[in-house]
Amino acid sequence: MRHRAPGPVLGPIESLLNTGLDLTSAGAADLDARDPLKSLAAEFHHPHDRSGRRLTYLCGHSLGLQHQSTKAYVEQELADWRRLAVSGHHAAERSWIPYHEHAGPGLASLVGAGAAEVVAMNSLTVNLHLMMVSFFRPSGDRNRVLIEKSAFPSDRYAVASQLEFHGLSAREHLLEIAPAPGELTLRTQDIAERIEREGSRLALVLLPGVQYLSGQLLELAPLVAAARAAGAAVGLDLAHAIGNVPLALHDWNVDFAVWCCYKYLNAGPGAIGGCFVHGRHANRRDLPRFAGWWGHDKAARFEMGPNFDPIPGAEGWQISNPPVLSTAPLLASLAVFERAGIDRVREKSLALTSYMRRLIEARLPGAVDIVTPRNPAEHGSQLSLRLLLPRVAAKRCYERLTAEGVVGDWREPDTLRLSAAPLYNSFQDIFTAVEALARAVAS
């Protein structure tokens, strides 16, 4: 179901791991010259500081850059609103009533789903709550939720509040899986064994695609299979995975997934989120849900009847009509992904992160611990770095890096996150950032 663009980006990733790799600025320039996606970077608006200096932006894991076409997409809706007012619901260039449907094919391609299995709506945590209403159904002793120990706080808050809503306590019914002692990332086998061990007590397993703090890409297929074998529902938080790594939600047999679109999907701050519901649930009337009129049968929606009749598929979980102005940038971004192809984006991502790792190991031996797994199958575009310095000095190092014009982000007490977004980052960006980090650490 995914779009596949022809041809390699930089050849096998192993070619970047050879001992003869040129770790100079000239070497970075050579790699950029060989990159057929390099022209895309010029299509994005890159941030500058107050003096006009272009910043080296490695923070796409937090907020993606704006594509130049975004303005035209938004201005089209503003123009149609000025010109048509309420008639824009039917007569706009992209009519507003089915506006979310324009995002469906692109989202389905990125997550490996059928068009009816995805919908653009709400925001990530709102969608998580809506999905848990339907898929977290505690009964008897099957009343636990399993998440990772360092889950993004909003996910944990949502799960804890859902437990409380059902008269359960997070202390007893929220189970957390942590890395093995002395390790910084999760093992697939450990998660699978924990799922099997909890067995009949599990109502829901909620996992990330890419863990936000470590940058680890989980091996999702066997974990989903383990959860389903245990009789638990399976949900995924794809905030750091969609637009970052290829996904196959339908084939993995996930029950639901939720995501935001302002990170690797570059849809802007507060952009509309998205949701996947597996096709086997498309026509289930037995699932409870919090209903709203935009999830009601399209043919009868404006008859304003009292009885809710859900649209088959993911659209049946909609509550309200889509926010057109925050959906327009998503359409712009999905068009860029269609041109690039997620497989080529992934290949370049691996090349960039491997290059970043090699530079860090060469320039900063003993000063930085790369938390993110080395295996290319276990990470996306982000590397998480622990600075092996006293806490105050580590934070000061990050501030020095920022002052030098490199934009990453900091997570207490000692972790720097840098992400090489393939659509707009270059090998020269990586070289510049690591050289600045080396100077910051040395200072």
Q: Tell me which residue has tokens 């910043």.
A: 55
Q: Measure the CA–CA gap between 306 and 296, rounded to whole angstroms.
A: 11
Q: Are 49 and 409 in contact (CB under 8 A)?
A: no
User: 278 in a domain, yes or no?
Assistant: yes
pLDDT the model gives residue 350: 95
Shared domain check, 374 and 304: no
Order the strands of the 144-148 sheet from edge to edge. Answer: 118-120, 274-277, 256-259, 233-237, 202-208, 144-148, 174-177
Q: Examine the domain organization and report whether 367 and 281 are in the same domain.
A: no
If phi over 0 gives left and psi between -120 and 50 gives alpha, with beta otherwise, what is residue 131?
A: alpha
Let me know: does 41 contact 428? Beta carbons within 8 Å.
no
pLDDT at 52: 97
* Statement to judge: residues 51 and 167 lie in one domain: no
The tally of domains found in the chain comes to 2
Residues 208 and 147 placed together within one structural domain of the fold: yes
Pair 333, 351: CB distance under 8 Å: no
Identify the CATH number of the domain in which residue 401 sits.
3.90.1150.10
State residue 63 phi and psi, 5-degree precision.
-150, 120
Q: Report if residue 179 sits inside a domain.
A: yes
Question: Could you tell me if residue 8 is inside a domain?
Answer: no
Asked whether residue 201 falls in the same domain as residue 275, the answer is yes
Same domain, 42 and 113: no
Contact status, residue 99 vs residue 327, Cβ threshold 8 Å: yes
Of the three residues 304, 323, 338, the one that is the final residue of a domain is 338
Q: What is the mean pLDDT of each run of 10 residues along the chain (443 residues)?
A: 44 60 93 94 97 97 98 98 98 97 98 97 98 98 97 97 98 97 95 96 98 98 98 98 98 98 98 98 95 96 95 98 97 98 96 96 95 96 94 91 97 94 98 97 89
Q: Say how far residue 285 (Cα) sits from the centre of its chain.
A: 30
Kindly report the length of the chain: 443
The whole-number pLDDT of residue 3 equals 37
Contacts of 389 (CB under 8 A, 6+ apart): 367, 397, 414, 441
Give the pLDDT confidence score for residue 127 in this predicted structure. Answer: 98
121 and 259 housed in the same domain: yes
Domain boundary among 338, 364, 396: 338
Cis ω for the linkage preceding 413 (within 30 of 0): yes
Question: Is 303 in the same domain as 220?
Answer: yes
CATH code: domain of residue 305: 3.40.640.10
Which pLDDT belongs to residue 284? 94
Kindly report the number of other CB atoms within 10 A of residue 248's CB atom.
15
User: For residue 4, what pLDDT is reported?
Assistant: 39
Q: What is the pLDDT of residue 113?
A: 98
Is residue 404 included in any domain, yes or no? yes
Q: Does one domain contain both 122 and 102?
A: yes
350 within domain boundaries: yes
- Pairwise CA distance, residues 67 & 329, whole Å: 8
Residue 3 within a domain: no
345 and 303 within one domain: no
For residues 236 and 271, give the distance between their C-alpha atoms in angstroms, rounded to a whole number: 19
316 and 347 in a single domain? The answer is no
Q: Cα–Cα distance between 124 and 154 in angstroms, integer?
A: 9
Is residue 415 included in any domain, yes or no? yes
Give the end of a domain, one of 338, 369, 392: 338
Within a domain: residue 286? yes
Q: Residue 237: which domain range?
A: 74-338
User: In this structure, are 329 and 219 located in the same domain?
Assistant: yes
